[in-house]
Every structure is written in C-alpha cells, then in structure tokens.
Structure 1
Amino acid sequence: MIVSSSGFAKLKASLAEKIFFGHEPSAELLAILLVYFVQGIVGLARLAISFFLKDELGLSPAEVSALVGIAALPWMVKPLFGFISDGLPIFGYRRRPYLVLSGILGALAWLALATVVHSPWAATLAIALSSLSVAFSDVIVDSIIVERARVESVGNAGSLQSLCWGTSAAGGLFTAYLSGWLLEHFSTRTVFTVTAIFPLFVSLVAWSISEARLTEPTNWSVVGNQLKHLRHAVTQKSIWLPTAFLFLWQATPTAESAFFFFTTNELGFAPEFLGRVRLVTSIASLLGVWVFQRFLKAVPFRVIFGWSTVISAVLGLSTLLLVTHTNRALGISDQWFSLGDNLVLTVMGQIAFMPVLVLAARLCPPGVEATLFALLMSVVNLAGLLSYESGAVLMHWFGITENNFSNLALLVVITNLTTLLPLPLLGWLPGAEATPVAEPVEAHLQPITALEMDSSASKHLAQPFLPDLLTEFVSPPREPEPVEE
C-alpha cells in the first residue's frame, strides 16, 4: 500500500511538472482550464453557422459579412465587462456569479439557434449573445488568472498564462476537423444543440473557483482614480499614434464571406473538407506563433510590419489562381491548392499579427497596463468590424452574390492592395532606437480589468479563404502572452 501511495505521488508530481507546467492540478485549476477549453471547443459550430446563414436563411455574401461585423460588437466593449465585474459584485462575489450567468447565456443562445431562430435579425441577435457569453467569461477568467499569476514564483512566471492559452488552443484543434465531419452526418441545428451543452460546463465549475466574499462596498474613488490615469495614458502621443496605425492597418476590407460562398457554391467543397482546412489553418497559426517567437521577436516594429504587409499582400494575390481556375490548368486540384494556400497565408498572417500583441503590451504603462491593453484590443476589434462591413459594401457594389462571382477577382485585388495603404504611416510606430513604453503613472495602482491576451480581430493580411466566418469573434484565438524585454 505504501508503494502504491508513493507511486501515486510520483505520478501526480510528474503530471504537475509536465502537463500543468509546475502547478498543482487542484479542483480550482481544473475548473479554470475547463473554461478556457470551452472557449476553444465552441468552435464546433463555426462551420454550422456559416452554412446556416448561407443555405437555411439564404443570405448573400454581403449580408453575411455585415452580420459577422455586428456579431463582433461584444468584443469591442470588453473593458466594460471588466469594470462591471469589479464594480458590481453579485451577492458579494465578483467572479463566480458572472461565470455562471455567462455559461447560461451561451447555452440559451445556441439553443435559440437550434430551435426558434428563423430570420436574419434573430440569427444576428443569437450569434451576438453567444459572442457576448464568450467575451464576458473570457474577461472574468482572465482576471482570475491575473490574480493568481501575481503570486507565481520567478521561475514559473508566465507559466499559468501559457497553460491557459494551450488549453484553449487544444479545444480549438479538437473541434477543427470535427466541425466539418458533424455537418456531413447531422443538420446545422443538431450541431447547435450539441454546442449548447458546453457553456453549461462553465456554469457548473464556476463554484469550484476560490473567491472571498466581499463585505465592503466598492471603492469608487479607486475606480475614478484608475480612469483618470487611463485618460492620462491614452492622451500621450507615444500611445495614440501607434494605436491609430493599428486601427488603420486592421480596418481594410476583407473578402472572407465571398470566398466561403465561392468555395462551397462554385467549387463544391463539402463540410468535411472544410473541416480539414480548419485543422490545417489552426496548426499553421501555431506554426506562425512559433516562427515569430523563435526568429522575429527582436526585429524592429517598423521593419516587421512593413515587410509582412508587403509579403502578405503579394502572397494574397495567389488566390486569383483559384478564382480564375488557373490552378487546374497547372494540374493542381482545387482542394490541394486551397490547403497549401491556406497553410502559407495563415503562417504569414499570424507572423504579421503577433507584433500587434507585443506592441500593445509595450505601450501600456505600469498601473493601467491591463485596462489599457484591453482598450487597445477593443480598438483593434472595432477595426475588424469595419473590415467586414467595408467588405460587405464592396461585395454589394460588385454584384457578388451566392451564384455570381464574376467580379470576385477584382475584389481579391482590391482587398489585398488596400492592405498596403497604411504603409506611409509606418513612422507612427516606435523606431528601433525608441523604447516603446509609455510614460509611467503611479505604479502602486492595481489594474481593474483582466489582461486581455486575445487576438479576436486578427485579420490575416493576405485575405485567405477561411470557411469559419465567425472564427475571430465567437471564440477568438488566444495568443501566448507577450514577454516584456
């Protein structure tokens, strides 16, 4: 019996070291990781949403693109969710009740899509509510991670965030291929019903998270002081100029929804194959993160933004071969061309977006770093909305419909060339000789809002074909935490 206990202790220690990055696999940690896993696994319904909007509601590419933009709204007000959680506790608790409510909201939104949604406006509302559920739970669980990370040892610094990001990525990878396979065998509404189960796990495990009950009312003077320092930070030229560049850089039109219609209606790609494409792009995204961290993180911002933008725009024009069916003349099937094209473009797009996170982190002065980072990411998310809406306008002008793709090549050219427009403004970014950190404010202030480490509006600059239209907003990919150098 003693040997058995000793073996169990060794196994537990090995799991803690190799799987949980040195953290004790407690009930609370498992509950937190489950929340992140659910954020990744709700991608199970992404392809179902795309086909639901296209086939069952009969929306045009322009209408789908406009709807996607509206559904992104919750990701633009994430700092507000942090203020609500911090300032308006429920029954004395600031975290657990909001996790319970967000899980219930997500389940109800997916059930509505599975049962009572029969119009575009109802679909928009339901998708936006599911997006709100993930965005709010993301803010809450990130705030918990920030609190726990403060007590990490120097040797374990950043390990908790990395563990959480990896768990969310694992959930996304798990559903990448499965999302297409399910649509081959079941209806979209059945997939929505299955997806509705997962947010409920967030509600169930919320009470496993340790949280002391507040006995004192919220100190609004601290909140007001935080807002004052935040306003001081955003008025600095060293912050708002790079932020303005990031906004313009991300706001150029996208042709994603038009490509989804083209590949399904014109090329006849089946859901199962689209699931394979999602799996390839998910792996490629991780590869892009690794390439950036391994080889490019020390490259000056102006250099990497400039060259990645130009290279992405040039590579993005390769989709013209697919649109004009030139790939067939070259002896390359549509399926193999799509897989290869998405692999290359996604790696390049991820490399191009990683500096956004690093730059945003370095712009944040001590004391308001978490709140300001969330605000910067909300600005980038707003740019993502404009990207989809401007793309919808172009599709309408060019007469691109579910069956008419005669002007799709022109749309591809425009969406790729417009990504070059912000290049003359590269001087707004910090130079190699500059230290891109804003003027410090009082360092003793603790951030109110959780550090937001998502790239929910990350738009692949090369405009690759992405079959899951709501990838960026329903459950955004989570990037590893930028390391201050």
Structure 2
Amino acid sequence: MLVSSSGLSKVKDSVKEKIFFGNEPTSELLAILTVYFVQGILGLARLAVSFFLKDELLLTPAQVSALFGIVALPWIIKPLFGFISDGLPIFGYRRRPYLVLSGILGAISWVSLATIVHTPIAATLAIALGSLSVAVSDVIVDSLVVERARAESQAQAGSLQSLSWSTSALGGLITAYFSGMLLEHFTTRTVFWITASFPLIVSAVAWFIAESPVNKNASEGDDSNFQSITHQLQQLRKAITQKAIWLPTAFLFLWQATPTAESAFFFFTTNELHFEPEFLGRVRLVTSIASLVGIWIFQRFLKTVPFRVIFAWSTVLSTVLGMTMLLLVTHANRSLGIDDRWFSLGDSLILTVMGQIAYMPVLVLAARLCPPGVEATLFALLMSVTNLAGLVSYELGAGLMHWLGITETNFNALWVLVIITNLSTLLPLPFINWLPAADSQNETPTLSPTSTNSGEQPFLPEFISKLIVREPKSEPVD
C-alpha cells in the first residue's frame, strides 16, 4: 500500500510538472484553461466565416479586409471591459458573471450567423458580437492568469502563460482539420450551429472560479465601487504616464499597423490555386501543431533571452521568409518542382513557429507589470493599442488592394502587395531601442502600485502573434 501510494504520488507530481508546467491542477485552474481551450476551439468556424463572406455574400478581398477591421473594434475597447470588471462587480463578483455573459453573447452571435444573417451589414454585426464575446472572456481570463502569475517563483516565470496558450493552441489543434473537413460535407451555416454550443461551455465553467464577494453587504456596495473606480484611475494614471510604458507601446503600434495581405491571399488560394476547404483545414492543423512547437521551444530554450533580441530577429527572419510567398503568387514554385500545396504547408509551418516564439515573451512581461486591483484594466488598456493598430492594418490592406486592382479574380498585382506588406514590417526596427533593455526576461522588474514617472519600469505591450503567421492580425472570427 505504501509503495502504491508512493507510486501514485510520483505520477501526480509527473503530471503536474510535465503537463501543467509545475502548476497545481486545481478545479479553478482547469476552468481557466477551459476558457482558453474554447477560444482555440472557436477556430472551427474560421474557414466557414471566410467562405461565407466570399461565396454567399459575394464580398471582394478589399471588402473582407475592411469588414475584419470593423469587427476588431471590441478588441480596441477591451480596457472598458476590464474597467467594468475590476470596478463594477455583479452581485459582488468581478469575474464569474462576466464570463457567463460572454458565453451567452457568443452563442447568440453564432446562432444569428446560422439563421438570420443574409447581408454584409448583418454579418458585420453578428461577427462583431462574437468578437465582443471573445474579447470579454479574454479580458477576464487574462486578469485571472495575471493575478495568479504574480505569485510565481522566478524559476516558474512564464509557466502559467505558457500553459494557458498551450491549451488554446491545443483547442485550435483539435478543431483545425475539422474546420475544413466539415465544409466538404456541410454548409457554412451548419458549422455555425455547431460552433454556437462552445461559448456556453465558458458560461458553465465560470462557476468553478474561486472568487470571494467584493462587498460585505449591500449598503456598502456603492461606496466600495466608487472607491474601487477612483483607485483604478489613480493606478492607471501612474502606469500609463510612464515613458518606459507608452514609448515601447508606441513602437509596437507602428509595427502592428503595417498593412496586411491576408484577405487577398485567402482569395488567391481558393479562387486561383483552388485549394479546397479540406486542405485548408490541413494547413490550420499544421499551424496549430507549429504553435505548440513554438511554445515548447520558448519554454525550453529561450526564456532567458533578452526580449529585444527575440523581437528583432523574429521580425527580420519573418520578413525574409515572408518573401517566399512571391514564389507562390507568381507560380515560380512550380518551375522549381514544388507543388503549391506542399509549399503552402511548409511556409505556414515555419512562420507559425517563429510567430509563437516572438509572442511568448510579451505574455511574461504583461503579467509582471499589472499592479494589484487593476489587472484586467491595465492589461487590456495597453494591448488595445496594438488591437487598434490591427484595425489600421486591415484598412490599409483594403486600401492597397483597391489601389492595386486586386479582386476576387484579378491577382496580377498580388506580388506587389506581398512585397509592400513584408517590407513595411521592417520600418519600425530603427526605433527598437524604445523597447526595454532588461538583461533577460526573468529579470524584468514588477510595476508596483506606487511607482512614479521617474522610475525606469518595463512596458506592457501586446502584439498579435498572427502578424507573423498567415492569419488575421486581430481576432474577429475566433
């Protein structure tokens, strides 16, 4: 019996270390990971949305790019959701009710797409509602992770973020192939019906979040809320007025705001190369696996590498490798004896790994900057800057597509768009000194609630890893 107990204990320790990256697998942690998992699963409808806009609503590449920019708006006002969550509890709770609400909104969004949406305007509203749902849940779950990551030891730094994003990538991995396979056998609206069930899982697991009521009694509720809001504003003012925070955030805005060719490339692969949904599902499967590989590489080898080094090299290498798309859009790969499908798979694999490696250090920095009490607000405020840049990116891309005459059937100038979008990513690099110069990521100091403008503190930016990957920069359809 003693041997059996000892063996069971070793198994539990092994599971904790290998699967949960050293974090205790409590019911609350499983609930948090479930929210990230659902965010990955929602990728099941990503291809369905793209084909729905292209084939059923008959939108052009420029129109699709403009639409994606519009539906990214909820991600720009994420600070509002964090502010409300931190300062205005519902029935005394700051997290659970908002997760429940986000799940309900998500279900309504997908049901609407499956039934009553027949015009571009209606589609924009429905997809924006789904974007709002994910944005709200993302704010809440990020704040939960930040609160818990602050207690991590130096040796565990980044482990909770790595675990969270691994779970999201796993959700995407499971549904990646099926996102294309389902479209081979069912309509886009059927896929929307299936997807509508997933947000309700978020509503269900919200009750497993360990949270104590903020207010002791109703009579003190209003005063407590007012004091909480006042405290938040004071903390935010101290944080955002620091040069070492807004300067690097401005750098990331410039980088993220570069135009994207994503919509044009999707039309090219489906209308020109005739990639069927099932194959595009395979591409998503490969990129999901590559995302997990990128997380593992960072966790295993790169946690102590200075952020500037990872950021600069990943930007340069992704730009150089991104130029390989020219071979595909000019069909030069065929002259080299490389099939279109194999070329597309390999290209997506490499760029996804690099994108995830570049993204992980930002999550570590983010968790170490948020002062207690305003985790959701500050986290959302600073990363909304890059979400705004994502909107700019889509609209610039739409303008370039219109200017170059790229349509659903005319791709003669696509190679020009590829060159412009890739080279533009390099433009902010002369200002890379705006980023923090910590010797290593693990040495990044924490932003304290009483820090002043004179203190040299690190920053809290967020850039979307999909900037490097061949995916939308924002997250309108996840």
TM-score, with length taken from structure 2: 0.85
Could you tell me which residue of structure 2 aligns to residue 478 of structure 1?
A: none
Q: How much does 1:157 deviate?
A: 6.8
> Counterpart amino acid of 2:450?
E
For residues 209 and 115 of structure 1, what CA distance do their matches in structure 2 show?
A: 33
Q: How much does 1:184 deviate?
A: 1.0
CA contact (8 A) 2:235 2:371 kept: no
Q: How much does 1:471 deviate?
A: 7.2
Could you tell me which residue of structure 2 aligns to residue 235 of structure 1?
A: 241
Question: Compared with structure 1, are the counterparts of its residues 339 and 368 closer, same or farther at alpha carbon in structure 2 (3 Å cutoff)?
Answer: same
Name which of 459, 472, 477 aligns with 2:475.
Answer: 472
Q: How much does 1:343 deviate?
A: 1.5
Q: How much does 1:5 deviate?
A: 10
1:92-241 equivalences in 2 (<5 Å): 92-148=92-148, 160-213=160-213, 214-215=215-216, 216-217=220-221, 218-241=224-247
Question: Compared with structure 1, are the counterparts of its residues 132 and 454 closer, same or farther at alpha carbon in structure 2 (3 Å cutoff)?
Answer: farther
Paired residue total: 463
For residues 292 and 148 of structure 2, what CA distance do their matches in structure 1 show?
A: 26
SS of the counterpart of 1:420? coil
For residues 239 and 273 of structure 1, what CA distance do their matches in structure 2 show?
A: 43
1:59-458 equivalences in 2 (<5 Å): 59-148=59-148, 160-213=160-213, 214-215=215-216, 216-217=220-221, 218-357=224-363, 371-431=377-437, 440-442=448-450, 457-458=464-465
CA contact (8 A) 1:260 1:465 kept: no
Q: How much does 1:365 deviate?
A: 7.1
Question: Compared with structure 1, are the counterparts of its residues 196 and 454 closer, same or farther at alpha carbon in structure 2 (3 Å cutoff)?
Answer: farther
For residues 210 and 282 of structure 2, what CA distance do their matches in structure 1 show?
A: 39
> Counterpart amino acid of 1:472?
E
CA contact (8 A) 2:391 2:474 kept: no
CA contact (8 A) 1:110 1:192 kept: yes
- Which range moves more in the overlay, 85-94 or 363-372? 363-372
Question: Compared with structure 1, are the counterparts of its residues 3 and 364 closer, same or farther at alpha carbon in structure 2 (3 Å cutoff)?
Answer: closer
For residues 219 and 187 of structure 1, what CA distance do their matches in structure 2 show?
A: 48
Q: How much does 1:87 deviate?
A: 2.2
CA RMSD in angstroms comes to: 3.4
For residues 167 and 24 of structure 2, what CA distance do their matches in structure 1 show?
A: 16
> Counterpart amino acid of 2:134?
V
For residues 352 and 155 of structure 1, what CA distance do their matches in structure 2 show?
A: 20
For residues 160 and 304 of structure 1, what CA distance do their matches in structure 2 show?
A: 20
> Counterpart amino acid of 2:195?
T
Q: How much does 1:4 deviate?
A: 10
> Counterpart amino acid of 2:295?
V
For residues 369 and 148 of structure 1, what CA distance do their matches in structure 2 show?
A: 11
CA contact (8 A) 1:345 1:460 kept: no
CA contact (8 A) 2:88 2:225 kept: no
Question: Compared with structure 1, are the counterparts of its residues 411 and 153 closer, same or farther at alpha carbon in structure 2 (3 Å cutoff)?
Answer: closer
Post-superposition Cα deviations, 1:128-183, rounded to whole Å, max 9, x if no partner, equal: 11111111112223334444556678887765544433322221111111111111
- Asked if 1:460 is matched to 2:470, the reply is no
For residues 462 and 36 of structure 2, what CA distance do their matches in structure 1 show?
A: 12
Question: Compared with structure 1, are the counterparts of its residues 9 and 113 closer, same or farther at alpha carbon in structure 2 (3 Å cutoff)?
Answer: same
For residues 246 and 295 of structure 2, what CA distance do their matches in structure 1 show?
A: 26
Question: Compared with structure 1, are the counterparts of its residues 406 and 18 closer, same or farther at alpha carbon in structure 2 (3 Å cutoff)?
Answer: closer
Question: Compared with structure 1, are the counterparts of its residues 133 and 453 closer, same or farther at alpha carbon in structure 2 (3 Å cutoff)?
Answer: farther
For residues 89 and 372 of structure 2, what CA distance do their matches in structure 1 show?
A: 26
For residues 247 and 453 of structure 1, what CA distance do their matches in structure 2 show?
A: 9
Question: Compared with structure 1, are the counterparts of its residues 157 and 287 closer, same or farther at alpha carbon in structure 2 (3 Å cutoff)?
Answer: closer
CA contact (8 A) 2:106 2:196 kept: yes
TM-score, with length taken from structure 1: 0.84
- Which range moves more in the overlay, 78-87 or 329-338? 78-87
> Counterpart amino acid of 1:255?
A
Gaps of 5+ in 1: 444-451, 476-485
Question: Compared with structure 1, are the counterparts of its residues 188 and 152 closer, same or farther at alpha carbon in structure 2 (3 Å cutoff)?
Answer: same
SS of the counterpart of 1:197? coil
Q: How much does 1:345 deviate?
A: 2.2
Could you tell me which residue of structure 2 aligns to residue 42 of structure 1?
A: 42
CA contact (8 A) 1:239 1:438 kept: no
Q: How much does 1:344 deviate?
A: 1.9
SS of the counterpart of 2:212? coil
For residues 86 and 12 of structure 1, what CA distance do their matches in structure 2 show?
A: 35
Aligned-residue identity in percent: 73
For residues 389 and 99 of structure 1, what CA distance do their matches in structure 2 show?
A: 31
Could you tell me which residue of structure 1 aligns to residue 457 of structure 2?
A: none
Q: How much does 1:367 deviate?
A: 7.8
Question: Compared with structure 1, are the counterparts of its residues 316 and 146 closer, same or farther at alpha carbon in structure 2 (3 Å cutoff)?
Answer: closer
